[in-house]
Amino acid sequence: MKTAARRDRLLNLLYRRPTTVPAVARALGVSERTVYRDIASLRDAGHDIHATPGPGGGVRIAPDGRPRAVHFEVAEIIGLALSVAILKATPHMPFAGSAEAALDRARMALSPERRRAMKKLERRILVGAPSSERVRRSLGEVDDTLLSVFERCFTGSRSMAFDYVDAAGATSSRHVECIALVLHAPTWYILAWDLDKDASRTFRMDRIAAPTCGDALVGHHPLVEVMAQARPEARSADDVWNRRPIG
């Protein structure tokens, strides 16, 4: 996480409630010394932050402190967009329209370059109908590290490695390019290009174990081509997939 993004997240934590330096360090994945340095820097920028030194030191921000501009990371707005898409896919959900309006304002807060990057990512998040009862009954536990690893690989164009247990119970090791996130609530899948098999594959979230983030990818396989190989019998990808990108 870049310094500016980390400090912005630190402010978000402080505006929620008083906390402690060790808790902030755990939330940000940094040392307590780094937290104290960030607090000092934010104070210099005019934020009224109070911190108690020593083990378990408390830290809080004055509720009437200096107003601040809101800065979004692309991944944060992608999360908002996915949430809005889920709301819209649920019939007669209150506040779905208001949430979409707020998302549009958040998009406009991005620089043109980040807005373009976000648009590309949104096209790779596909939302379809809810999972069948059969799939929901068969869902297992999801690896604790999967979300953070997938998010880094998906937004950072990095390869991803993991062990996979298929429907028949066979285990294999996979090394993939994450092409799309496919959501059939509450289940999600990774539509991927298997770098070892040189072919399109789909992986269900609860069947993935021990995921790791790999190297940056140089070339990228287009979503349309990967979808076409995954379902070659379709006249078009949309005919069979029946999923819409969130953006």
pLDDT digits (tens, 9 = 90+) for 27-37: 888 998 999 99
| Residue 177 domain flag | yes
Give the per-residue pLDDT at 161.
98
144 and 231: one domain? yes
Last residue of a domain, one of 61, 84, 106: 61
165 and 199: one domain? yes
Can the peptide bond before residue 186 be classed as cis, meaning omega within 30 degrees of 0?
yes
- Whether residue 74 contacts residue 151, with contact meaning beta carbons closer than 8 Å, is answered with no
Q: Looking at the predicted structure, is the pLDDT value of residue 179 above 70?
A: yes
Q: What's the number of domains the chain is made of? A: 3
Q: Return the CA Rg of the chain.
A: 21
Average of pLDDT values for 113-142? 89
- Whether residue 166 contacts residue 172, with contact meaning beta carbons closer than 8 Å, is answered with yes
162 and 182: one domain? yes
140 and 233: one domain? yes
Give the per-residue pLDDT at 235.
47
Q: Is the pTM of this model over 0.75?
A: no
Last residue of a domain, one of 40, 61, 82: 61
**What's the CATH code of the domain at 14?**
1.10.10.10
Q: Looking at the predicted structure, is the pLDDT value of residue 165 above 70?
A: yes
Last residue of a domain, one of 32, 61, 90: 61
137 and 166: one domain? yes
Helix intervals (H) in 109-222: 112-122, 133-138, 146-156
Give the per-residue pLDDT at 237.
45
| Residue 84 domain flag | yes
Identify the CA nearest to 20 among candidates 39, 48, 3, 40: 39
37 and 138: one domain? no
- Whether residue 201 contacts residue 194, with contact meaning beta carbons closer than 8 Å, is answered with yes
178 and 219: one domain? yes
| Residue 178 domain flag | yes
Give the per-residue pLDDT at 221.
92
140 and 78: one domain? no
Strand extents, DSSP E, 144-207: 158-165, 171-184, 187-194, 199-204
| Residue 128 domain flag | no
Average of pLDDT values for 145-156? 93
Q: Looking at the predicted structure, is the pLDDT value of residue 134 above 80?
A: yes
Share of the chain above pLDDT 90, in %: 36
| Residue 68 domain flag | no
Average of pLDDT values for 198-216? 96
Between these two residues, 237 and 29, which has the higher pLDDT value?
Answer: 29
Q: Looking at the predicted structure, is the pLDDT value of residue 193 above 90?
A: yes
Kindly report the number of other CB atoms within 10 A of residue 195's CB atom. 17
| Residue 69 domain flag | no
Confidence of residue 240 (pLDDT cuts 50, 70, 90): very low
Give me the domain span that covers residue 26: 3-61
How far is C-alpha 115 from the geometric centre of its chain's CA atoms?
16
